[in-house]
Structure 1
Amino acid sequence: MSNVKVSVIIPVYNCSKYIGNTLDSVINQTFRDFEIIVIDDGSTDNSLEIINEKLNGCGLQYKVIHQENAGVSVARNRGVDVSTGDYIVFIDGDDYVLHNHLSELYTGTNDFSLTQFVKQDGEKVSNPNYFDFEIISTEEFIKKELNMEILFNFFQLMYKSSIIKENNVRFTPGIVYGEDTEFALKALTYGDRIHISNEVTYYYIQHSDSAIRTTEFRRFDIVDIFENLANFYILHGKHELANLIFTSRIPRAIFGNMNYFFYSCYGFDDVMYIMKKRDLLTKLSKFKGDRKFALKVKLFLLYPRLYYKLWFRFKNSID
């Protein structure tokens, strides 16, 4: 097969309810110079049968790889390894994209490009988060993400393949929460700029049986991811970015996930036990930045049970 401009990588694990719709949305793109790479990660339902049925005769180059179940990171990495496109796009097997997803992303000149997404839960669709810039340097974009000034997900990006492969950027196996953010923020480090489109082209589907749904306190694993990312930045001489991780991104992640657990009716004592066990209170105390957020953190650290009671009474945002 000859090289194509874009490789679309789709990991699948027991997605028989959704993968047909996902593949239809990819096959029906107005942009046509792309290949589809589906990695079936040991599905035990009839996902593989649906995949083959949809792709057979679709008129596009495609690869279907079946492997023993090894997790979404291994599946995505396998897709990267076999891809031939100049650029790479990731789509999850239970999401879908609009017909202009690839045409909005592909410029052929930028290291990265980005479109907007919305979350869909049944009939409910979230509001998109538009950006007020069309071109941004990768370093400035990373800073905005670490300060949580933008809402961002790795699947919004189109990645220049040579950046990913030549720098051996890969998803970390065995991690169920945050491996995609780590991948994107590492990849962006090696590039120059991002082209931004405010077109909403990606629909992220939320449902109770999602293959990437996390349970219990694994959400706090994002702290480990960002600590590893900080070490990565230090090794690459990007000390300002590493400092932002410790003084902004990690404290915000801890506080946001803590409130998520409160919102989900986890017991106060259970949450506090885990936070103390993982030394998250110390890491939370390192926050520097937004005064309003700093006051919330200070109140919680001084009077955690009081904060919990006040939060639960007034149902503050979990962000």
Structure 2
Amino acid sequence: MDNVKVSVILPVFNEQDYISATLDSIINQDFTDFEVIIIDDGSTDNTLKVIEEKFHNCPIPHKIIHQENNGVSSARNKGISLACGEYIVFVDGDDYILTNHLSQLYNEGYDFSLTQMVKKEGEEIKNPHYYDFDEINAKDFIKLELEMKIPFNFVQLSYKTDIVKKHNLQFREDVNYGEDTDFALRALCYGDSVKIGNEITYYYIQHEESLSNTSKLNRFDYISVLEDLATFFKKQNQNDLTELVNSSRIPKAIFGNMNYFFYHNYDYDEVIKKMKDLDLFRKLSYFKGDKKFSLKIKLFLLNPKLYYIMWRKFKNSI
């Protein structure tokens, strides 16, 4: 398995209903020089059996690892440690990729490549964001993400393995939200070039049982991840990125998650108490940027209860 071009890392946990389709989408790639590293993170259903049957007599180089349940970050980190490819690509166990996904993501001479992802819920497919350029400096890409000018998911990228391993980049295992974006932005900070493709090749599947009603208020813990990221950028002498985290990404993450909780009928007093406990009101006030968004924040900070009442009445119109 040495010297393959791409390592596909696939963490799985109790995916017996979906994993067969995911594996078929990987096996049927029009790109030939790749390996598949599957980390079963302590599944208690038939996931591992389905995987083993699927790869029985399969000529594609593969590793199937079974470990005790330690979480998806642990599984991905295990996959990174075993990767032999020039580039690393991540796929989740209930998603699927089109046959040209790897061929679109393998671009020699670039540190990263990006392809388009769409979210699919039932028969509804959300349109992706299309770019008007075919390559971009990695730092400029980071800025676009921190300003939330682009929708972005870490699975859209291929990562040069040398960058990941040289800098010992791993997914944080101590948090439940944002560890994937954190990994991607840290990796991008060490690279130079991103190849951009506008072809849709990745389908992110939202299943009914995995939707937002399972969320908890600890989504706000993502703020501490962003604060650590700001510190990381500062240590890399990227003070402009640190400023963007503090003045744009953190306030938007706070406000976005707050409205998320309101939308899903979380108790107002519980949300506000959590925000006060985490000092999020002060951090919201640091926002700099879009005047319309700035006005929303000011209205909320002026009278949170009134904002909540008006938001419930008019939803996303304010």
Task: Give the deviation of 1:268 after TM superposition.
Answer: 1.4
The SS at the match of 1:316 is helix
Other-structure match for 2:127: 127
Q: Secondary structure at the match of 2:316?
A: coil
Show the counterpart of 1:196: 196
Task: Give RMSD over aligned pairs.
Answer: 1.4
The reply to whether residue 309 of structure 1 matches residue 296 of structure 2 is no
Aligned with 2:63: secondary structure? strand
Q: Distance in 1 between matches of 2:317 and 2:77?
A: 35
Q: CA deviation at 1:214?
A: 5.7
Is residue 216 of structure 2 the alignment partner of residue 216 of structure 1? yes
Match for 2:112: what amino acid?
F
Partner of 2:88: 88
What do the CA deviations read for 1:62-81 (whole angstroms, capped 9, x no partner)?
Answer: 00000000111010000000
CA displacement at 1:249 relative to structure 2: 0.1
Deviation at 1:220, TM superposition (A): 0.7
Partner of 2:112: 112
Whether the 8 Å contact between 1:13 and 1:211 is mirrored in structure 2 is no
Give CA-to-partner distance per residue, 1:203-233, whole Å, 9 cap, x none: 1111244499962112111101100101111
Mapped partners of 2:2, 2:26: distance in 1: 20
Partner in structure 1 of residue 152 of structure 2: 152
AA at the equivalent of 1:29: Q
2:238 alignment partner in structure 1: 238
Please tell me whether the aligned partners of residues 177 and 214 of structure 1 are also in contact (alpha carbons under 8 angstroms). Answer: no
Instruction: Give, in whole Å, the separation in 2 of the partners of 1:210 and 1:22.
Output: 17
Which residue identity is paired with 1:206? Q
Counterpart for residue 296 of structure 1: 296
Q: CA deviation at 1:284?
A: 0.5
Task: Return structure 1 stretches of 4+ with deviation > 6 angstroms.
Answer: none
* Aligned position for 1:47: 47
Distance in structure 2 (CA, Å) of the matches to 1:212 and 1:85: 35
TM-score in terms of structure 2 length:
0.97
Would the aligned equivalents of 2:133 and 2:196 in 1 still touch at CA under 8 Å?
A: yes
Task: Give 3-state SS (helix, strand or coil) of 2:276's partner.
Answer: helix
Q: 1:120-141 deviations in whole A, cap 9, x for unaligned? A: 1111111111112211001000
Q: In structure 2, do the counterparts of structure 1 residues 222 and 274 end up closer, same or farther at CA, with 3 Å as the change threshold?
A: same
Structure-1 separation of matches of 2:142 and 2:236: 14
Q: Hey, what's the Cα distance between the residues in 1 that align with 2:39 and 2:251?
A: 35
Shift of 1:59: 1.6
What letter matches 1:241 in structure 2?
L
Amino acid at match of 2:279: D
Separation in 1, partners of 2:294, 2:251: 10
Residue 244 of structure 1, CA deviation? 0.5
Aligned length: 318
Match of 2:8 in 1: 8
Instruction: State the one-letter code of the partner of 2:248.
Output: S
CA distance in 1 between counterparts of 2:238 and 2:156 reads: 24
In structure 2, the CA distance between the partners of 1:21 and 1:211, relative to structure 1 (3 Å rule), is: farther
Shift of residue 174, structure 1, vs aligned partner: 2.7
Structure 2 CA distance, aligned partners of 1:40 and 1:210? 19
Match of 2:59 in 1: 59
In structure 2, the residue matched to 1:142 is: 142
Identity of aligned residues (%): 58
- Name the structure 2 match of 1:226: 226
Match of 1:207 in 2: 207
Q: With the length of structure 1 as denominator, give the TM-score of the two structures.
A: 0.97
- CA–CA distance in 2 between the matches of 1:264 and 1:100? 37
Specify the alignment match of 1:281 in structure 2: 281
Name the CA distance, whole Å, in 2 between partners of 1:214 and 1:164.
32
| Deviations 1:33-64, CA, capped at 9 Å, x for gaps | 00000000000001000001111222200000
Letter in 1 for 2:237: G
Q: Which moved more, 1:125-134 or 1:24-33?
A: 125-134
Residue in structure 2 matched with residue 174 of structure 1 by the alignment = 174
Q: Distance in 2 between matches of 1:82 and 1:61?
A: 13
Letter of the structure 1 residue corresponding to residue 195 of structure 2: H
Instruction: Work out the CA distance in 2 between the residues paired with 1:109 and 1:30.
Output: 21
Query: What letter corresponds to residue 139 of structure 2 in structure 1?
Result: E
Supply the AA of the counterpart residue of 2:69.
N
Residue ranges of structure 2 left out of the alignment (5+ in a row): none
Choose 64-73 or 307-316, whichever is displaced more: 307-316
Distance 1:181 1:48, change over 3 A: same
Aligned position for 2:101: 101
